[in-house]
Structure 1
Amino acid sequence: MSRPLHSIQAWKRCMSLVQSCTNMRQLKAIHAIFIAHGLHLNNYAVSKLLSFCALSDSGSLSYASLIFSQIQTPNSFIYNTLIRSYSRSSQPQLALQYFNLMLDNENVVPDHHTFPFVLSACANAGLVLVGKQVHNWVLRNGFALSDSHVQTALVRLYAESKVLDDARKVFDDIPNPDVIQWNVLINGYVRCGLASEALNVFGDMLISEVEPDEYCVTTGLTACSKLGALWQGKWIHEYVKKRKGLELDVFVGTALVDMYAKCGSIDMAVEVFEGMPKRSIFSWAAMIGGFAVHGSARKAIHCLERMQVEDGLMPDGVVLLGVIIACTHAGLQEEGQYLLDNMKALYGIVPKHEHYSCVVDLLCRAGRLDEALQLIRRMPMKPLASVWGALLSGCRIRNNVDLAELAVRELLLIENGGGSEEDGAYVQLSNIYLAARQCEDASRIRRLIGDRGIKKTPGCSTIEVDGEVNEFVSGDVSHQTSSSNTYNAGFDVH
């Protein structure tokens, strides 16, 4: 039988215990004290316990749910705390369960704190149709017209669900979108592979006299990287240098390095990188990746040494992959193999499939197909299509029919009767047969290709001329200019 808590001093002591709590072991002991004194019946007191469990890095969402199940009359704060926590967890769908419980409770009404987290849960769980239902509920209750957090959550829901038409409709209904809402929309276009449209929106934001923050600048530079739009990237760089209050922080600096490297200006990438006041592991990965693309393998390897000496940073799997790719492009077989074989010993990184795939590619490019096959056979994980595709490409260069047939058989087992990898495998095998003068086998594969209706995906490339990005598709004679040139007026530097 619980003993009521009468003393204000005792109440304060219990609240102080919660505030000083650092782990679940302490929390459970405090919870027992609360139960002993009847504090578990007080919503304000128990909400402090629940908040620690749900929101602290040292908490436990499952224990928060247990506490919730023992609350007789949960209030909106308690519901919102659990909805918020589950929305960003590995089980975002559970946030929707608590939202439904909230709707079923006649004594509690969702408020403007509830919906951003509910919509976030829908986005994170990939439940766009449920999100639309919530959107309709929001509209009926007038929240979308008055609260910027709800508006932002709606734009994010549709943008992250790749329903960009709806994201744009919601955005256009916002009277004065803030910089966060602009960035959510721009990032949505980038995530959907629509970099030209992303830069159009970036230009619209500037015309609207909304000043981009570091996040917007980083997103805009990412769009430039994907388009190869060097002129626009340089403009953004100049804007950063001239805008007061907009600093070249580690995120913007890294995005600039990546943009310059991918747009073909490796010297500018190096200049920005060397001038960064602070560099992260992502900065080093961008620089190493840039050297890899530009064939400067020795410089990439040197960066691997520099990052440890100059910045005290140990490489992760992404950095090491960049170095192996650099070795592959430069044909540095021994260096690439050494790195793969010693990743665990030197850096504590267990090689993943992509590391093995790159070294297989490296061996194939060197014409050492048998060694590549041996490496595939001893991989600690099941080889995926990229590995067999690398071997098949090597067979095409070396006209090795036997290994090509093996690679195609393995690819077909992985693809299981469909997919672009299978289509490409047939086309490559046909070409290998032709190069080896096995015309009958080549004709057989060509007939199979015709029967299956396989068509080679047309190549697409972009080129920037005088600040205008043009896209060209193989077989297209129209040479139409990308819509990205329509935002040039918004990119005037004064």
Structure 2
Amino acid sequence: MYARCGLLIKAQEVYERLPIKDAVSCNAMIMGYMDHGDVSDALRYLNLMEVEGITPTSITYICSLKAISKTKDELSGIKVHLEATKKGFLERDINLSNAVIDMYAKCAMISEAQKVLETIPCRDVVSYNTIITGYGESEHGEEAIACLQQMQVERIIPDTVTYICCLKACSSSRLIEEGQEVHAEITKKGLLQGDLALGNSLIDIYSKCGKCIEAHYVFETLPERDIVSWNTIIAGYAEFGFSEKGLECYEEMELHGVTPDGVTLATVIKACASIKALEYGQDIHGEILRKNLLKEDPFIGSSLVDMYIKCDELSMAQEVFDRVLIRDTVLWNALLAGYAEHERNHEVLNSFERMQSQGVASDTATLTCILKACCHVGAIDKGHEIHSEICEKGLEDGSLAISNAVVDMYAKCGLLEDAQKVLNKLKAQDVVSWNAIIVGYSQLGDSQMVFSSLNKMMGDGIRPDAVTLTSVLKACCHAALFDRGTAIYDNMLDDYGIVPTTEHQNCIIDLQCRTGHFKAAINMVQKMHCPSSVAWSSILNACNKWGNVELGHQAFDNLLWSDAEMLDVMEAV
């Protein structure tokens, strides 16, 4: 009684005075602590039972497994599983078997959960719902759908929970076709009219997969809607470039008398950010302040910071940041990304030091941002420090993006040997990895290493992209490799499937000018849809080098007309 009422100290006093302690009294204490979120004390009583020689019951193991699921202590979970199996409980109690499946799924041991499922002689709908949920949370949507199909083979009738779990699994894995099949099955059974959670799950999968029309259709057909329905449809529109429609839904929601919560307001702020609707965003900011939601909600704070950054209001972004009392990694990342976006790299590094001093953990997004800032300001020592932290945390193998950022940082700082070492250690490489090293060699004018890297990259089956070829053409410029550069440019479409951009044209014009091929350079400029100031600057510089005064005058005049800013200055003079 005391345990169930939350009077745990009183319950413990009574327990201590018991002359004989048995499984029933221990189970009561375990359940009491579990019901009130005290996982560690719940597990302590499980250990006490073992010490005092009290034989656990099936309920003991079920409660213990629930506690372990929350702590994600897989070793304790395995121990309980083995103990329960040894005593023959799993064969007799389907609820215990389901608890074991849940524990393994929550501990990210989904293959073990599947093995347990397969050993259960009489699986039920809860067994399958549990494993499907596990597959959904680990983003294995196809396996979740396979379980739904297996249920039907075994003539186990799915319930609404099954379908909700399947839709969430499809949503997390972006399996739109499978989700549509589940939707058809739900409609056929007439389940949608009586279950709002099911309807919301359908809106969610269509929204997450960018099917906003289908999401809105489901939304409109719901007999009733709650705050989750509105939040999901608004988020879908904001995510896939229909922010104006998202804001319309928000206004419609208010007309229906539905009170927005923190999630709603953060989502609306995101929509405002994507279309730079500053005034609308400021109105929402005012509502957030009136509801006193900002100080202790870093999610709302990070949304506001991001909006002000997108609207080029950095001072307001910093002001919002300073007002949030609980600052998590996401909030700090929003601020760091904002400063980086506006090329205020010293502020990025200073803010990162503040973040570290306040004991906030950095993630891959944080470290990637800091590495980019180190590139721009040449903070090699800081870059080394971040690289060491990445290695200590074992992030190099888990994130190609962060490894690429390390390669890029070393390459941009001129430490090509270090960049090459990191590149060589990568288990997997992509075009971004190779571009970082090729750009680095190109900036140093090392055309030999540029072509060597290009050959290795293609030898590994990685196709160059537009960035790669820009660096290769620049290397040809630095080394005055006219024939080679011209051949690469002329065959870009045939060899690599890349249509030359203005940047590629500027590179080849620069190469032609550096090697004295003025006629070819002028022909190229005349073929350009809109010749750039860069192209005319290359010709002007070459005229100065080669003493071509007449062409130099022509290039100067065209340079003025191609660069509006320079033309304004000359007119003012």
Give the TM-score category using the shorter length.
0.7 to 0.9
Match of 2:327 in 1: 279
Cα distance 1:361–1:86, how it changes in 2: closer, same or farther (>3 A)? closer
Cα distance 1:349–1:315, how it changes in 2: closer, same or farther (>3 A)? farther
Cα distance 1:257–1:403, how it changes in 2: closer, same or farther (>3 A)? same
Cα distance 1:68–1:378, how it changes in 2: closer, same or farther (>3 A)? closer
- Tell me the distance in 2 between the aligned counterparts of 1:230 and 1:397: 40
Candidates 202, 208, 215, aligned match of 1:154: 202
CA deviations on 1:189-242 (whole Å, 9 max, x unpaired) are 444455555455445544554333222333333344444443443333222112
Preserved CA contact (<8 Å) 1:228 1:262 = yes
- Name the % identity: 21
Deviation, structure 1 residue 54 = 1.6
SS at match of 1:313: coil
- Tell me the distance in 1 between the aligned counterparts of 2:78 and 2:247: 47
- Tell me the distance in 1 between the aligned counterparts of 2:410 and 2:273: 30
In the alignment of these two chains, the number of paired residues is 438
**2:60 is the alignment partner of 1:17:** yes
Preserved CA contact (<8 Å) 1:195 1:223 = yes
- Tell me the distance in 1 between the aligned counterparts of 2:478 and 2:204: 51
Match of 1:298 in 2: 346
Q: Could you tell me which amino acid in structure 1 is paired with residue 281 of structure 2?
A: G
Match of 1:321 in 2: 368
Preserved CA contact (<8 Å) 1:158 1:166 = yes
**2:279 is the alignment partner of 1:235:** no
TM-score when normalising by structure 1: 0.74
SS at match of 1:145: helix
Q: Which sections of structure 1, spanning at least 5 residues, go unmatched?
A: 1-7, 460-473, 476-494
Cα distance 1:389–1:168, how it changes in 2: closer, same or farther (>3 A)? same
Q: Which sections of structure 2, spanning at least 5 residues, go unmatched?
A: 1-22, 29-55, 66-76, 504-528, 531-573
Preserved CA contact (<8 Å) 2:98 2:126 = no
Match of 1:93 in 2: 142
Candidates 381, 403, 416, aligned match of 1:372: 416
Candidates 432, 435, 438, aligned match of 1:389: 435
CA deviations on 1:265-300 (whole Å, 9 max, x unpaired) are 221121111111111122222222223333333333
Q: Could you tell me which amino acid in structure 2 is paired with residue 128 of structure 1?
A: I
Preserved CA contact (<8 Å) 1:336 1:359 = no
Match of 2:128 in 1: 79
- Tell me the distance in 2 between the aligned counterparts of 1:359 and 1:55: 37
Cα distance 1:375–1:178, how it changes in 2: closer, same or farther (>3 A)? same
- Tell me the distance in 1 between the aligned counterparts of 2:193 and 2:369: 47
- 131-140 or 81-90, which deviates more: 81-90
Cα distance 1:60–1:28, how it changes in 2: closer, same or farther (>3 A)? farther
Match of 1:103 in 2: 152
1:328-367 pair list within 5 angstroms? 328-329=375-376, 331-343=377-389, 348=393, 350-351=395-396, 353-355=400-402, 357-358=404-405, 360-362=407-409, 365=412
SS at match of 1:454: coil
Match of 1:426 in 2: 469
Candidates 61, 76, 83, aligned match of 1:29: 83
Cα distance 1:206–1:289, how it changes in 2: closer, same or farther (>3 A)? same
Match of 1:265 in 2: 313
- Tell me the distance in 2 between the aligned counterparts of 1:317 and 1:296: 20
Q: Could you tell me which amino acid in structure 1 is paired with residue 290 of structure 2?
A: K
* Structure with more of its chain in helix, by fraction: 2
Cα distance 1:342–1:235, how it changes in 2: closer, same or farther (>3 A)? same
Match of 2:520 in 1: none
Match of 1:218 in 2: 266
Cα distance 1:130–1:364, how it changes in 2: closer, same or farther (>3 A)? closer
Cα distance 1:221–1:455, how it changes in 2: closer, same or farther (>3 A)? farther
- Tell me the distance in 2 between the aligned counterparts of 1:162 and 1:458: 32
Cα distance 1:411–1:214, how it changes in 2: closer, same or farther (>3 A)? farther
Preserved CA contact (<8 Å) 1:55 1:85 = no
1:175-194 pair list within 5 angstroms? 175-192=223-240
- Tell me the distance in 1 between the aligned counterparts of 2:429 and 2:146: 39
Cα distance 1:458–1:77, how it changes in 2: closer, same or farther (>3 A)? farther
Q: Could you tell me which amino acid in structure 1 is paired with residue 362 of structure 2?
A: P
Cα distance 1:359–1:247, how it changes in 2: closer, same or farther (>3 A)? closer
Preserved CA contact (<8 Å) 1:281 1:313 = yes
Deviation, structure 1 residue 435 = 7.1
TM-score when normalising by structure 2: 0.65
Larger Rg: 2
- Tell me the distance in 1 between the aligned counterparts of 2:110 and 2:429: 37
Match of 1:488 in 2: none
Q: Could you tell me which amino acid in structure 1 is paired with residue 371 of structure 2?
A: I
Cα distance 1:458–1:129, how it changes in 2: closer, same or farther (>3 A)? farther
